[in-house]
Amino acid sequence: MKAKYILPFLVIILAGCNKSDVDHIDLAGQWQFRMDPQDKGVAEKWFGTSFSDSITLPGSMTTNGKGYDISVKTQWTGSIVDSSWYFDEKYAPYRQPGNVKVPFWLQPDKYYAGAAWYMKTVEIPKEWKNRHIELFLERCHWETRVWVDGTEAGLQNSLATPHVYDLTKLLTPGVHTIAVRVDNRVKDIDPGINSHSITDHTQSNWNGIAGKIMLTAKPEIFIEEMRIFPDVANGTATVRGVVKNVTGEDSHGKMTIFTKLNTPAADPQQKAVDEEIAIPQGASSFEFEINFGDELGLWDEFYPNLYSMTLRLETDAGTHEKKGIFGMREFRAEGTRFAINDRPVFLRGTLDCAIFPKTGYPPVDTASWKKIIKTCKSHGLNHIRFHSWCPPEAAFAAADELGFYFQVECSSWANQSSSIGDGKPIDQWIRDESERIVKAYGNHPSFVMMAYGNEPAGRNRSHYLTDFVSYWKSKDNRRVYTGGAGWPVLMENDYHNIPQPRIQGWGEGLRSIINSTPPNTEFDWSDKIGPYDVPVVSHEIGQWCVYPNFREIEKYDGVLKPRNFEIFRDMLNANGMGHLADSFQLASGKLQALCYKAEIEAALRTPRFAGFQLLSLQD
């Protein structure tokens, strides 16, 4: 089905569009809990028992003080360094003859990698009879399996998007028990042990469920998917979606679309279109084209105009609404530069490596992400690259509102422990993860760039990523695509995200610009980007270290503690130089600032250059 409308001729008052028949049961609060370190819960049918321990969700085992004490026997997720250590007696658990493995990152007080069980009793209201019922788990880490009254409902393993289970056949009116088994081990599907989606280096390899946890009830005919494709040149937007009919019979209904420009000066009324549609059994697609006329509000970093859209479907099964936010914008490659709405844009970016010491997992509220993005903007940045992970919905919502550009990645750094293109389970998982990410977040105007992930290994990686980029370029033109952050350079890439434009390359030693020449402003990256006819964004420039500020140790009042700082401090004291800590920090900090200044200025003075991504600015 396809129809075209010009909006100014049909107007419906805002108040007439707010009612929704979708009901919710909030499952936040206390759940029964049990660790399963020997992985015997499924065989012993724990989903049919009760547990004596309890835990608060949303949250993690770590935020609830669950797990094992840290020791040298802790099996961390992520590469760690072998070194000899001599330090204060209170670190005796780390001391062993010869080389021992000590992590150089923030550490939790408790740690657990394995299966854990979460169980809750719920009462389904009688009004939910003959409704489509789903369990919504916003951010899981990471594999979940769900049972209702002992019957398994399925398995999901997305690291980037909500886990949503269809429980219609299992949840009838009355009392039921829902059991969720969460497993945070790396098993057959290995994104790479250093992926910031899973590694203890960064957000931590937590076990739990964050964000919204709820049951939803919808009519048996409902809108499952809504994708909005803006066309700035023609002042239109194409709405494509899927209607699900689980009644077992063909049906029909009326689809109504409401839109509104969300600015104070905009028309307070919503504009609507109506269309009678046929709805066969199962899943069926729909498509509408909406014309905004002359009153078009464009979205970019300077004028982040947002539109809200509500799709209302009225059928004999009931009324269902699906809401979304989108922006009228076109982000594309134009020669070797990017353009948004035909205006040049230069990316001034940092990396977000999923470092959240308060909780050990990413925030799922918009206020936290607004604080992060406002901090970035106050330092002159307009872009974040999410290194080998994808943020939750709240991050996109904040970026949409504030005018900020995101490069999102499919939860993987397939290197060292993993590779892509070699026929491993990770190959299909990344394809599936990319589909889930675009389905969940693709309407957000801030989502302008996507890569598979970071620095892939694999003999067939180029062939695999060529197919990946080609597929997405043909399917969804709302953003630009590259195969991998770092490498490889592919002919199909919309842009290259490469490490060569920098003042100190890996392994260059005394041959680098910063070491072989006096400080000057007579160089740029023209020779580094010369061979390419698409935009080049420099990958992970900077990485300039600074000596730790030990005064920060006491500020870590969340679940992750700077045990690495404590080790460094005690080593300095043991060598009689503790009084020089502030001087080391000041001197190295001044050098760091000069190095970053040189990196950024070289990028800004390079003709035809598209932008930079700094690794990494962290507040």
Stretch among 20-34, 93-107, 262-276, 443-457 having the lowest mean pLDDT = 93-107
Angle at the Cα of 112 (from 106 to 115), degrees rounded to 5?
Answer: 145
Q: Is the dihedral of CA 425, 428, 432, 437 positive or negative?
A: positive
Q: What pLDDT does residue 586 have?
A: 97
Q: How far is residue 390's CA from residue 19's CA, in Å, rounded to a whole number?
A: 32
Whole-number pLDDT of residue 101:
58
Task: Band the pLDDT of 38: cuts 50, 70, 90.
Answer: very high
Contact indicator for 312, 258 with CB cutoff of 8 Å: yes
| Stated pTM of the model | 0.93
Confidence of residue 506 (pLDDT cuts 50, 70, 90): confident
pLDDT given at position 102: 65
Q: Judge whether residue 163 has pLDDT over 60.
A: yes
Question: Which of 83-97, 231-245, 584-598 is least confident?
Answer: 83-97
pLDDT of the residue at 104: 79
Reported as a single tens digit per residue, the pLDDT across 377-421 is 999 999 999 999 999 999 999 999 999 999 999 999 999 999 999
- For residues 437 and 510, give the distance between their C-alpha atoms in angstroms, rounded to a whole number: 43
Between 226 and 84, the more confident residue is: 226
∠514-518-522 over CA atoms, to 5°?
85
CA 19, chain centre distance (Å): 31
pLDDT at residue 72, rounded to an integer: 79
- The amino acid at 194: N
pLDDT digits (tens, 9 = 90+) for 347-382: 999 999 999 999 999 999 999 999 999 999 999 999
Q: What is the pLDDT of residue 390?
A: 98
The pLDDT confidence band at residue 293, using thresholds 50, 70 and 90, is confident
Task: Calculate what percentage of the chain has a pLDDT beyond 90.
Answer: 85
500 CB-near residues (< 8 Å, 6+ apart): 525, 528, 538
Query: Would residue 21 be called left, alpha or beta, if left means φ above 0 and alpha means ψ between -120 and 50 degrees?
Result: alpha
Alpha helices in 321-460 (DSSP H): 366-378, 393-402, 425-441
- Does position 96 have pLDDT exceeding 80, yes or no? no
Is residue 472 within 8 A of residue 481, CB to CB? The reply is: yes
Work out the average pLDDT over 562-580: 92
Q: Checking DSSP bridges between strand 282-291 and strand 2-6, what pairing results, if any?
A: parallel
Note whether 202 and 168 are within 8 A (CB). Answer: no
- Residue 100 — left, alpha, or beta (φ > 0 → left; ψ -120 to 50 → alpha)? beta
As a residue count, the chain comes to 619
Residue owning tokens 């067939």: 460
| pLDDT value at 16 more than 50 | no
- How far is Cα of residue 445 from the mean position of the Cα atoms in its chain? 15
* Mean pLDDT estimate for the chain: 92
Q: In b/e form, how buried is each residue of 533-549, taking b as 16+ CB within 10 angstroms?
A: ebbbbbbbbbbbeebbe
Rama region for 58: left / alpha / beta (φ>0; ψ in -120 to 50; rest):
beta
| Confidence at residue 619, expressed as pLDDT on a 0 to 100 scale | 64
Q: What pLDDT does 269 receive?
A: 64
Residue 19 has pLDDT above 70, yes or no: no
Instruction: Quickly state the pLDDT bin for 268 (edges 50, 70, 90).
Output: low
Alpha helices for 101-150 (secondary structure H): none
Q: Which residue has the higher pLDDT, 187 or 74?
A: 187
Q: Is the pLDDT of residue 569 over 70?
A: yes
Reference 452, options 442, 441, 464; nearest CA is: 464
Identify the band that residue 137 occupies on the pLDDT scale cut at 50, 70 and 90: very high
Rounded to whole angstroms, how far apart are CA atoms 191 and 197?
8
What is the per-residue pLDDT across 99-127, written as a single tens digit (0 to 9) for each? Answer: 455 677 899 989 999 999 999 999 999 99
What integer pLDDT is reported at residue 3 of this predicted model?
47
**Model pLDDT, residue 456:** 98
DSSP designation for 43: T
Of the chain, the percentage scoring pLDDT greater than 70 comes to: 92
Predicted confidence band of residue 461 (pLDDT cuts 50, 70, 90): very high
pLDDT above 60: residue 228? yes
Tokens of 578: 């503790």
> Average of pLDDT values for 478-492?
98
Compute the distance between CA of residue 191 and CA of residue 157 in angstroms, rounded to an integer: 12
Name which of 597, 558, 326 is nearest 447 in CA terms. Answer: 326
> What is the 8-class DSSP label of residue 578?
G
CA–CA separation, 528 vs 511, rounded Å? Answer: 16
Tell me the mean pLDDT in the region 218-224: 97
